[in-house]
Chains A and B, each alone.
Chain A
Amino acid sequence: MESMNELTTYTSPNSTDVAHWYRAARTTDFPENGGACVKYGDQQIAVFNFSRRAEWYACQNLCPHKMQMVLSRGMIGTASGEAKVACPFHKKTFSLHTGQCLNAEEASITVYPVKVVDGFVYIGFTA
């Protein structure tokens, strides 16, 4: 993986509201073009390394369909250019930009801003 020493910013609706950037793990800990689950207190956050697009995304690990803690194991991809994740259970897909469910009427998921500094991945929380 390329070294990422500069601060990269990511499209996220509320990255300006971030009160706390949590240092999650090294960039190299994540699989390329895939995700892993980060523990933040008692929360589970799915973080995705979309290396093909040199982008990072984060969202809740819980799939709202059957309330399963699995989204980090989902496959990522795009729909008309919009990054998304597909739940491994029943392939409901969610936008990684807005959290909206793209192929069914499930509740939206929470997405979090991500930044990379000095080879570390940070997730932004508002509180």
Chain B
Amino acid sequence: MKHVILVGNGMTSFKLCEKLRKLSGDIRITVYGEEIRPAYDRVHLSEYFAGKTADDLLMAPRGWYHEQGITLHTGELVTEIDRANKTIRTHHGITDHYDYLVLATGSGAFVPPLEGVALDGVFVYRTIEDLNQIIEYGRHSRTAAVLGGGLLGLEAAKALVDLNLEAHVVEFAPRLMPRQLDDAGAMILAHKLTEIGITVHTGKATKRIAGDDRITALEFADGTALPVDMLVISAGIRPRDEVAKACGLAVHGRGGILVDDYLRTSDEHIFAIGEAAVHNNMVYGLVAPGYDMADVVARQLTGDLSKTFTGFDMSTKLKLLGVDVGSFGDPFGETPGSIPIAFQDRCNGVYKRINISADRKHLLGGILVGDASQYNIFHQMVANKIPLPAQPESLIIGTPGKEDEGAGVKSLPDTAQICSCENITKGDLISQIRDHGARTIDELKKTTKACTGCGGCTPLVNDVLKMTLEGLGVVVKKTLCEHFAFTRQDLYDIIKIEGIRTYDALLDKHGVGDGCEICKPAVASLLASIWNEVIAEQATIQDTNDRFLANIQRGGTYSVVPRIAGGEITPKKLMAIGRIAEKYNLYTKITGGQRIDMFGAQVHELPLIWEELIQEGFESGHAYGKSLRTIKSCVGSTWCRYGVQDSVSFAVFIENRYKGLRAPHKFKGAVSGCIRECAEAQSKDFGIIATEKGWNLYVCGNGGARPQHAKLLVTDVDTDTCVRLIDRFLMYYIKTADPLTRTATWLNKMEGGLEHLRQVVVEDSLGIGETLEKEMAALMANYECEWKKVVETPALRAQYRHFINDEASDDTLSFVDLRGQKMPTDWNRK
């Protein structure tokens, strides 16, 4: 059997193992890696600071190599290659014979020859070990600088911020990310970085790292200095070619192992891939070209010579939360005759530049800062030479809607790569849909593996699915599921007009089959929104949280949240919560909604806990429901020297008004006592901000993963008007939104947008204002605390037990101690 030895066990080496095994079981594979761990995801290394563990980052656990019949030696540095005898030797003295050798040794950080680089407190940013050292040293430091303002340097700087250090970036060039951005783009980026706490110093030539044993400052050529406690050097990479060089393989003058289009080195039995290789005078410091190289080598080793490596484009995106940067194709317009078109909005920190060909037919490349949402589609347009629209500027001016993206997908050729992690083309997806009957994203994920890597391609895959289905004449009607051929809005009307009160009645009359986890909770929510009857009566159609009127948490215990309207609570009630939490050994935490969450209750304890809470005057907080959560407030004119209205009283009033109201999704509100906006009302589904003359009402804001500022609906209205408008707004939302749609998304999809909403709610253009108000009044009149009902009704209470045939509680629950409270054992470690 042919024996292939891989030197290095990094990202491309792993990919090669995977690809080789996929093509052939008939090759003996042995891997020698210098690092003590099997290959891990270096690209997402910075997530180590955000809580990912070294194990989370592994490309595959050690057992995987074993299962695949691959021999893996970690902690073994290959120090010698004997090309004549085709053997390698490690620093521990292991020798091994190969038929083919692949060098996947990657690169090391390039450390410029400055005085002081060996001082304590100077680090590089490449391996988990580097990160561990940075974290350790960071504990005793206050300020830190990164030398180098490129892609990696900025990532490192953000990591320093996350370590609570005062972070600086020092760049020699006059701008940040000099290889990806132009001056205008870099300026906007610098501004964004300042906002997240990174101080930027550009045009600074570092002369010396000062300090006796440990670093104390950076000294620059212009005579200035920057005092810092630590330094991370990120000044570029240097291919690891030392073993290659020692055995006489041809290397590049500036480092790197020379390879041809087959990734062959100057010895035909030795290949080099990844960052260690130099192809056509280029080192590729990105993972995608490395994977492509692995693919070419895997094919050759299994006898397929048809594919060669012909270069790769260097398009990249910066992966910093909240700082969107993309650079693709030819970002600077260096192609002769290219025409740049740029759009700049300094107010919102957005810069977009595209370079189009001299004949105005094709996109050559560009730069996106502040909003890189079009990165994928632009990148595809360049890669596939998609013809440009007649007015190319329309691509970057104005906000791109979903429809544009759909059109974009349509123009891509079938060979366009949509998922780059798994190398899935548009054609692959279409064939799954057309020839194999895939109808949903989930089916596509399962059959093609698209979207399962980084997930960045999901919107594009969705567009391909939609487009192909439409092309096939499959009606993409938004029906609820296989049991109901209606939209949520249809069902709302049916239930209301026919007076249907139960799920089974609706299914018998208007559905088919026996229901599922999609239609049951959707109908449950509709019934609750329309009749506002106690949901515990139809427990088994409710989502878990609504079934047990509590939030299920890791491990299967529940959390309990009593209502604390407006975040106002008496000391006596505070003590009651403390007493009850202590009695049942619950973990307590203040929530973002200004109330208290108690975690770790077992299912049989829920009625006992609530019985005590109700005795103390608490009601359900509906934290488990698709319903009103909280109305957050700041203290307002009663105490605050800036407040212009009594925001707390208004918040308490509003929260009590809408408590228990069920909607397509959860919703939140806030009331701020002045324009300082301490209650963050503009991030809520509805937000009220006090003015000298009354209240400003904002709607459809959102926090969470996709933050969206609320839109101003009306200004300076009095209290009654404000309440009336909220009544209408909420009722209109409840009646017309799709299931599980937050108000922000509802508005984004609404035809006519905010103006339409204002017409309906404020101007009453549909003439339904009064009806909406009446419907709201009827719902409010039906309010009843669900927990009170359960506690007082033995039949409902009886459902709260873990075993139906035994009084025991679940003995598989396990907890660990954290800062003096209990926590469930991590479910990844069970």
Residue ranges of A at the interface with B (Cβ–Cβ < 8 Å): 24-25, 29-34, 36-39, 42, 44, 47, 50, 52-53, 66-70, 73-81, 83-84, 86, 88-89, 91, 93, 103-105
Contacts and interface: CB of A to CB of B under 8 A. Distances in A.
B197 interface: no
Given A67-B827, A84-B516, A91-B517, A25 B552 contact: no
A76 to B, nearest CB: 8
A56 to B, nearest CB: 13
The 8 closest A-B pairs by CB, nearest first: A34-B540, A77-B516, A88-B544, A86-B517, A36-B804, A39-B806, A39-B803, A75-B517
Contact of B799 (A31, A33, A38, A42): A31
A86 B552 CA distance: 15
A31 B543 contact: no
A84 B515 CA distance: 10
A39 B517 contact: no
Given A74-B517, A88-B543, 6 more contacts: A31-B539, A68-B556, A78-B515, A79-B482, A103-B442, A103-B446
Among the interface residues B539, B804, B811, which one has the most CB atoms of the partner chain A within 10 A?
Answer: B804
Nearest to A31: B540
B802 A86 contact: no
B514 A73 contact: no
Contacts, number: 105
B514 A50 contact: yes
Among the interface residues B521, B806, B808, which one has the most CB atoms of the partner chain A within 10 A?
Answer: B806
B514 A77 contact: yes
A107 to B, nearest CB: 14
Contacts of B340: none
Interface in B529-569: 539-541, 543-544, 547-548, 552, 554-556
B824 to A, nearest CB: 10
Contacts of A37: 802-804
A72 B547 CA distance: 12
17 contacts: A30-B804, A50-B514, A52-B515, A53-B514, A73-B547, A75-B516, A75-B540, A75-B544, A76-B540, A77-B516, A77-B519, A78-B483, A78-B515, A83-B514, A89-B552, A93-B516, A105-B446
A70 B543 CA distance: 13
A76 B516 CA distance: 6
Interface in B370-422: none
Contacts of A84: 516
B804 A66 contact: no
A39 B803 CA distance: 6
B513 A81 contact: yes
Interface of B: 442, 446, 482-483, 504, 513-517, 519-521, 539-541, 543-544, 547-548, 552, 554-556, 799, 802-806, 808, 810-812, 827-828, 830
A78 B805 contact: no
A52 B804 CA distance: 21
A15 to B, nearest CB: 21
A77 B547 contact: no
A66 B827 contact: yes
A116 to B, nearest CB: 15
B597 to A, nearest CB: 18
Contact of A75 (B442, B513, B521): B521
A83 B516 CA distance: 9
A39 B802 CA distance: 9
A102 B515 CA distance: 16
Contacts of A73: 544, 547-548, 552, 556
A77 B519 CA distance: 9
Contacts of A50: 514
Nearest to B513: A78
B547 A39 contact: no
Contacts of A86: 516-517
A68 B555 contact: yes
Given A75-B540, A75-B541, A29 B504 contact: no
Contacts of B830: 66-67
B540 A33 contact: yes
A68 B826 CA distance: 11
Among the interface residues B805, B827, B828, which one has the most CB atoms of the partner chain A within 10 A?
Answer: B805
A75 B810 CA distance: 20
A32 B514 CA distance: 13
Contacts of B803: 36-39, 44
A70 B482 contact: no
B445 to A, nearest CB: 9
B682 to A, nearest CB: 32
B810 A69 contact: yes
B482 A80 contact: yes
A106 to B, nearest CB: 11
A84 B513 CA distance: 12
A36 B513 CA distance: 23
A38 B547 contact: no
A10 to B, nearest CB: 16
B520 A77 contact: yes
Contacts of A25: 804-805
A100 B608 CA distance: 37
B804 A29 contact: yes
Contacts of B516: 75, 77-79, 84, 86, 93
A34 B812 CA distance: 22
Nearest to A80: B482
Among the interface residues A36, A75, A78, A81, which one has the most CB atoms of the partner chain B within 10 A?
Answer: A75
A93 B517 contact: yes
Nearest to B516: A77
Nearest to B542: A75
A61 B517 CA distance: 17
Nearest to B811: A42
Nearest to B830: A67
B524 to A, nearest CB: 10
A36 B515 CA distance: 19
B517 A104 contact: no
Contacts of B812: 44, 69
A70 B553 CA distance: 11
A52 B718 CA distance: 52
Contacts of B442: 103-104
Given A38-B804, A39-B806, A80-B482, A70 B520 contact: no
A104 B808 CA distance: 33
Among the interface residues A32, A77, A88, which one has the most CB atoms of the partner chain B within 10 A?
Answer: A77
A38 B517 CA distance: 22
Contacts of B804: 24-25, 29-30, 36-38, 47
